[in-house]
Structure 1
Amino acid sequence: MSVLIWLIPVALAMGAIGLVGFLWSLRNGQYDDMDGAAQRILMDDDTPLPPKRQDDAG
């Protein structure tokens, strides 16, 4: 039963740290563009690779 004296404050402190981290990420705009990453993965803006040279000594 004496373990609860340590576990409850530790659990509350970890919850408070998580809440502070979440609020910090909200203020810094981490959740502003939720669809941007999903759209960027579909865009094909890579430059094509140059054609490979075939060697006749093969």
Structure 2
Amino acid sequence: MQIVMILVPLMLILVALGVLLFSWAVKNGQYDDMDGPAHRILYDDDKDMIPREARRNESKPDGQKDEAEQTDNDTDKG
């Protein structure tokens, strides 16, 4: 029975601490943007790390196609 006298106040202190930490987090904007990080991973931001030869569906800056793209287009036509 003596352990209950120790555990109940300890539990109340831990709950109060948890409520205080949660309210601090809400006031400081920790929960403002819940969707941003989840959607950010879907964006392809590593395009500059892929070698130009390995890229597909990207045109050259001067508008010309690679030889591989030209041969692919020629084989698709006929």
Same fold by TM-score greater than 0.5: yes
Give the match for residue 27 of structure 1.
27
Q: Which residue of 2 aligns with 1:48?
A: 49
Runs of 4+ displaced beyond 4 Å = none
Max Rg structure: 2
Instruction: Show the counterpart of 2:37.
Output: 37
Count of residue correspondences: 51
CA RMSD of aligned residues (A): 1.4
Query: Is the partner of 2:19 in helix, strand or coil?
Result: helix
Separation of aligned partners in 2, 1:44 and 1:13: 46
Q: CA deviation at 1:44?
A: 1.0
Deviation at 1:21, TM superposition (A): 0.5
Larger relative CO (CA 8 A, sep 6+): 1 or 2?
Answer: 1
Deviations 1:3-57 (A, max 9, x none): 1110000000000110001000000101111100111111111222458xxxxxx
TM-score scaled by structure 1? 0.78
